């Protein structure tokens, strides 16, 4: 009888240990994935900014602009950057390249450029026209848990453990914190001031030429 009890207890302990290993192992993997994604996004933003600035220096006399209106329907920034200034548009599986929520994000890999108003909102006065100085690079993320974790990790990695992504209330315009060169912003769909992992809060990463 004693042996039977010991056997049952042993089986139970093994089962608990297995569950804990899966839980903590999965959590550790997600943390490492978020850190890797955040590092890649930061590098991608810096790479794109460098390519645009090099293009501007060699083609536009230093004016950070493009010769056509960048409105998401007529031209791709990749047309001007690849392959001379960048071999290919940076890509991660969480980068969103669809017209969902705005045609200005349909470029290869989802990359585009825009202008910001005084509050950090994107293209409020319209898309950058030919020759208009570009102020920011933008990229939307998908609605996955991986994107959610990467967004939070990006701002904390750059600005400290208490830093949070930048919320916006207007669904028509993405937004960034102008005190940050690289930021992750989101649509605060339920107005709670927190990025929720519910698939409803549109996430974007942005680079500011400040």
Residue 109: which of 126, 122, 96, 123 has the closest Cα?
96
Residue 207 has pLDDT above 80, yes or no: yes
Q: How far apart are CA 68 and CA 65, in angstroms?
A: 9
More confident call, 30 vs 107: 30
Would you state the pLDDT for residue 33? Answer: 95
Looking at residues 91-99, what average pLDDT do you find? Answer: 75
Residue 159: C-alpha distances to residues 121, 162, 165, 181 (Å): 20, 8, 10, 11
Residue with tokens 């942005």: 206
Would you state the pLDDT for residue 73? Answer: 55
pTM here is 0.79
> Which residues touch 48 (CB under 8 Å, ≥6 apart)?
86, 89, 90, 111, 137, 207
According to DSSP, residue 85 is labeled T
How far apart, in Å, do the first and last CA atoms of the chain sit? 75
Residue 101 has pLDDT above 70, yes or no: no
Looking at residues 157-166, what average pLDDT do you find? Answer: 97
Looking at residues 180-204, what average pLDDT do you find? Answer: 92
With beta carbons less than 8 A apart as the criterion, state whether 136 and 207 touch. yes
Looking at residues 157-176, what average pLDDT do you find? Answer: 93
114 phi, psi to nearest 5 deg: -160, -175
- Reported as a pLDDT band with limits 50, 70 and 90, residue 128 is confident
53 phi, psi to nearest 5 deg: -70, -35
Q: Is 53 exposed, middle or buried (0-12, 13-18, 19+ CB in 10 A)?
A: middle
Would you state the pLDDT for residue 146? Answer: 94
Q: Which helix (H) or strand (E) holds 207?
A: strand 203-208
Question: What are the E-state strand segments in 112-202?
Answer: 112-114, 136-140, 166-168, 182-187
């Amino acid at each position: 009888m004693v042996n039977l009890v010991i056997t049952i207890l042993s089986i139970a302990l093994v089962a608990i240990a297995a569950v804990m290993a899966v839980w903590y192992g999965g959590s550790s993997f997600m943390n490492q994935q978020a850190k890797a994604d955040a590092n890649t996004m930061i590098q991608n933003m810096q790479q794109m900014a460098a390519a645009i600035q090099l293009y501007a220096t060699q083609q536009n006399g230093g004016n950070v602009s493009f010769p056509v209106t960048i409105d998401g329907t007529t031209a791709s920034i990749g047309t001007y950057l690849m392959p001379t200034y960048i071999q290919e548009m940076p890509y991660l599986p969480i980068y969103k390249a669809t017209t969902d929520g705005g045609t200005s994000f349909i470029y290869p890999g989802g990359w585009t450029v825009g202008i910001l108003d005084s509050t950090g909102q994107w293209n409020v006065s319209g898309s950058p026209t030919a020759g208009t100085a570009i102020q920011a690079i933008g990229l939307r993320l998908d609605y996955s848990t991986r994107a959610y974790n990467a967004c939070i990790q990006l701002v904390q990695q750059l600005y400290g453990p208490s830093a949070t992504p930048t919320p916006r209330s207007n669904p028509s315009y993405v937004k960034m914190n102008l005190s940050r060169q690289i930021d992750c912003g989101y649509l605060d769909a339920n107005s709670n001031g927190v990025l929720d992992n519910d698939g409803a809060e549109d996430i974007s990463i942005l680079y500011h030429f400040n």
